[in-house]
Structure 1
Amino acid sequence: MKSKFLNSLLFWIVLAIIAGWVCSLFFPVWLARVFVTFNGLFSNFLGFFVPVLIFALIAPAIASLGQGAGKWLGITAGVAYGSTIISGLIAWGTASLLYPTLLAGKSLITNVDNPEEGGLSPYFTVEMPAPFAVMSALLLAFVIGVAMTAVPSRNMKAVLDELNGVILKVVTSFVIPLLPIYIFGTFLNLGMNENFGSTMAAFGTVLVLSIVMTIVIILIQYLVAGVVAGVNPFVALKNMLPAYFTALGTSSSAATIPVTYASTLKNKVDEDVAGFVVPLCATIHLSGSMMKITLYALAIVFMGNLDIAAGQVLGFILLLGIMMIAAPGVPGGAIMAAVGLLQANLGFDESMVSLMIAAYIVVDSFGTAANVTGDGAIALMLNKFAAGKIKGSSLDDATLDNANVSRETSVETAGSTVVK
């Protein structure tokens, strides 16, 4: 267990944050600027790569959802999307209500370009224009994915699946291993800008708030499920606690599938319904992740004094809900799928994106635990209408034993554990 933690992405991210602050106390400016130069290059690469990543994830995901799925797949996906969007809206409302008090007087200054004033600037930059804009990638993926559900497209689907595999290889072998260095550079820059203390104090408050709100969203989901399914929501939630704590320890919805399935059956959900909903929602239902990303993003908007209109926030949430459907296929988690929207819709710079990644991963397991526990609530609601109508979907022993082989299972790559 200790060895597994030391090889995890969480460990390296926490180490990078601490090392960045410590090194800011004694690093000479010339050496610190080396890491800031790397951050600029890596950020520009992400700007180039993210639109391709979005297309490679979303297009085959939409095409797969429509092929031979039947109405229950569409209904389940719709409920999962609705749950994720509601989570984002609640996060927005919470931020609007609490941030003026919680973050009063807090500021976020990450981009100070004058080294004479203690800030850091890169030695050089390399422009890496994206092949197309983030919104273009999303629209193209949506159009092609939907069209593929209406016409025979076996060859096209094979091409998109291979593209998906190639892009994920880039993420696992290149992007994820470099994330700790990227985050180290960000916190080194913060420390040398004398902005580290105030930023961490403010974000510490937001981290605690995000954990509390993931629990709140679970309670809301089970209250709704209790009304729809006619069951005691608190008893149902109690039965799902093994899944919650398993996900808390694994940070993987896929690795938790056997426990989620068994816990769902304790709530007297039909075996076929549970066998259909649990694996599907493990890959498309990310209400907990949505809660955290939205709260963190709006905290940065507030502290950075960004001029973001309400319509932009709403658009961000609606589009992020779509990203979350494909997010489990992204090694490194939902936050990597959100990078493009953070930059395109909210105007985040490289340091803001790095802060988002670090904050998300530090408490990643709480979001994953909320995701899988919410899957049980969706199964309860679907069971009310689909029991006896979904056949042959119960999970057999082999499926349960090999649940960790799913797309979202923790993947050890270059000393990093993939997390959702």
Structure 2
Amino acid sequence: MKKIGLIWRILIAIALAVGLGMLLPKIHEGFSEWFVSLFATFNMIFGGFLNFVVPLIIIAFIAPGIAKLGKGSGKLLGMATVFAYASTIVAGIIAFFAATTFLPNFIHAVGSGSVENAGRPAAEAFFEIEMTPVMGVMSALLLAFILGIGMASISSKTMLSFFDELNTLIEKVISYIIIPLLPVHIFGIFLNMTFSGEVAKVLSVFSIVFVMIIILHLLMLTIQYTIAGSVSKRNPFVLMKTMAPAYMTAIGTQSSAATIPVTLRQAKKAGASERVADFTVPLFATIHLSGSTITLVSCSIGVLLMNDMPVSFVSYLPFIFMLGVTMIAAPGVPGGAVMAAVGLLATMLGFDESMVALMIALYMAQDSFGTATNVTGDGALSIIVDRFTKKEA
């Protein structure tokens, strides 16, 4: 029997939570409160564990990621990194202005207020367990930068080997504990929201944000390939058509890494030289996540608006800049980008556990499309880097 994909498990969890949340109070009020509280307890434990792991995720992925960026082909590495970071930042800024322009009208139309302040009171956990992280998120980021830059500067093999093993260990924690339990966590959140009478608004926001994100993904690809077409003197839409197999492969695999062979082949067909494509495509699969950034910025604004929290460009620009760096830490698993961004959501945007869970659900609902946008954009950046390196040659 074929394993059910993560997206489908999350959608099933949401559907079950909404159905049970509406049905249980009609059967027995006392039992429904106990049942919802049971999952509220699970969410408390899972949320505490997630907060504990976040600093470890940041250190385990960012430190070796930066260290490995310090090796390679000098100017080619520097140019590729600058273009990838610029593309990610531009994607985030476009998403901010699009989301703040269109989402307030739609989201306010379905009501406002906290997801925990309407209908019945939200169910409480049976008990509390404190899981204090070993350090704060910003401390973890600073430590990761110091270690990563330090390992790159001294070409450390011993430390890099340690962090590679730590990276593998934490990725297994994500793959075998966090990701499998995410549908249960999201089930508990949506069960509680249905119980408190807020689920209709949340599902409306889901559909609105989803449509806007897909449009922004296509817009970003058009911008990337218009630039690539202009520097290479090729038709941008022909280039996009050439990269279409990579887009479709990424939708199916939900993994930039798994799509690398297809992305590499199509980038060469689109005109990137073999020398440049062989170097940049695997690199971009790690550091260029424009599609994921669009999704994270759009979804986070949707969640903030839904909770009647302020959204301003002054507060969001630092988040976007940090998000561009943090994406280096994104694990190579479905939903890896949002897991790497959880710390920033909490510290820079003030997300609580229920908002983080909503964010994860929103993100995972279109993760394959974000990944597809990431890898398809890699082809455009490879063409751009190729043309600039030829000019310097």
With normalisation by structure 2, the TM-score equals 0.93
SS of the counterpart of 1:19? helix
Are 1:21 and 2:18 an aligned pair?
Answer: yes
Match of 1:273 in 2: 276
Q: Which amino acid aligns with 1:20?
A: A
Corresponding residue for residue 394 of structure 1: none
Q: 2:29 maps to what in 1?
A: none
State the one-letter code of the partner of 1:259: V
Corresponding residue for residue 61 of structure 2: 57
> Partner letter of residue 54 of structure 1?
I
Aligned residue for 2:310, secondary structure, equals coil
Conservation of the 8 A alpha-carbon contact between 1:50 and 1:134: yes
Supply the AA of the counterpart residue of 1:156. Answer: M
SS in 2 for 1:254: helix
Alignment map for 1:375-414 (pairs within 5 Å): 375-387=378-390
Contact 1:20 1:188 in 2 (8 A): yes
Q: Give the aligned residue type for 1:203.
A: F
SS at match of 2:112: coil
Structure-2 residue corresponding to 1:401: none
Q: 1:351 aligns with which of 354, 358, 361?
A: 354
For each residue in 1:79-98, what CA deviation from the matched residue of structure 2 results, as whole angstroms up to 9, or x when unmatched? 11111111000000111211
In the alignment, does 2:239 pair up with 1:242?
no
Provide the C-alpha distance between the structure 2 equivalents of 1:249 and 1:45, rounded to a whole number of angstroms: 30
Deviations 1:119-149 (A, max 9, x none): 2111111111111111111111111111222
Cα deviation digits, residues 2-45 of structure 1 (max 9, x gap)? x54x4321121111111111110233111110001110111111
Report if aligned partners of 1:244, 1:372 keep a CA contact under 8 Å in 2.
yes
Provide closer, same or farther for how the CA distance between residues 117 and 102 of structure 1 changes in structure 2, counting only shifts above 3 A: closer
Structure 1 residue 294: deviation in Å?
0.5
In the alignment, the residues of structure 2 paired with residue 299 and residue 372 of structure 1 have an alpha-carbon distance, to the nearest angstrom, of 25
Task: Give per-residue Cα distances to partners, 1:245-266, cap 9 Å, x unaligned.
Answer: 2222222222222222222122
Using the alignment, how far apart are the partners of 1:307 and 1:94 within structure 2?
16
Distance apart, 1:296 and its partner CA:
0.3
Partners of 2:134 and 2:258 in 1: CA distance: 35
Deviation of 1:275 (Å): 1.5
The equivalent residue for 2:170 is: 167
Deviation at 1:100, TM superposition (A): 2.5
What value does the CA root-mean-square deviation take over the aligned residues? Answer: 2.0
Structure 1 vs Structure 2: percent identity of aligned residues? 45
How far apart, in 2, do the equivalents of 1:29 and 1:228 lie? 62
- Are the equivalent residues in 1 in contact too, given 2:335–2:363 (CA < 8 A)? no
Q: Does 1:110 align with 2:115?
A: yes
Please say if 1:306 is aligned against 2:309: yes
Cα offset, 1:152, TM superposition: 4.0
Aligned partner letter, 1:183: I
| Partner residue, 2:28 | none
Indicate whether 1:88 and 2:85 are aligned: no
Instruction: Give the Cα–Cα distance (whole angstroms) in 2 for the partners of residues 75 and 196 of structure 1.
Output: 46
SS in 2 for 1:26: helix
Partner residue, 1:200? 203
CA–CA distance in structure 1, aligned partners of residues 355 and 52 of structure 2: 17
C-alpha distance 366-331 of structure 1, shift in aligned 2 (>3 A): closer
Q: Point out the structure with the larger helix share.
A: 2
Amino acid at match of 2:272: V
Asked if 1 retains the 8 angstrom alpha-carbon contact of 2:305 and 2:311, the reply is no
Determine the structure 2 residue equivalent to 1:189: 192
Alpha-carbon displacement from aligned partner over 1:57-78 (angstroms, at most 9, x marks no partner): 1001001110244221122122
Q: What SS class does the counterpart of residue 121 from structure 1 fall into?
A: coil
Give the whole-Å Cα distance in 1 for the aligned partners of 2:217 and 2:280.
21
Q: Is the 8 A contact 1:84 1:287 kept in 2?
A: yes
Paired residues of 1:284 and 1:328 also in contact (CA < 8 A) = no
Structure-2 separation of matches of 1:56 and 1:250 = 24
* Residue type at the aligned position of 2:98: T
Give the alignment's TM-score, normalised by structure 1: 0.87
Deviation per residue, 1:362-406 (Å, 9 max, x gap): 11111111111101100110110335999xxxxxxxxxxxxxxxx
User: Residues 62 and 146 of structure 1 are in contact (CA less than 8 Å); yes or no, is this contact kept in structure 2?
Assistant: yes
Q: In 1, distance between residues paired with 2:258 and 2:152?
A: 30
Whole-angstrom distance in 1 between the partners of 2:352 and 2:290: 25
1:231-277 residue CA offsets vs partner (Å, 9 max, x unmatched): 22122112111211222222222222222222212222211212112
Matches within 5 A, 1:123-134: 123-134=126-137
Distance 2:292 2:187 in 1: 23
- Which aligned segments of 4 or more residues in structure 1 are displaced greater than 4 angstroms? 387-390
Match of 1:73 in 2: 77
Q: How far apart, CA to CA, are the structure 2 residues paired with 1:364 and 1:228?
A: 30
Report the CA distance between 1:308 and its aligned residue. Answer: 4.5
Which range moves more in the overlay, 265-274 or 86-95?
A: 265-274
The 5 Å alignment of 1:279-358 reads 279-329=282-332, 332-358=335-361
Is the 8 Å Cα contact of residues 218 and 373 (structure 1) preserved in structure 2? yes
Aligned length: 385
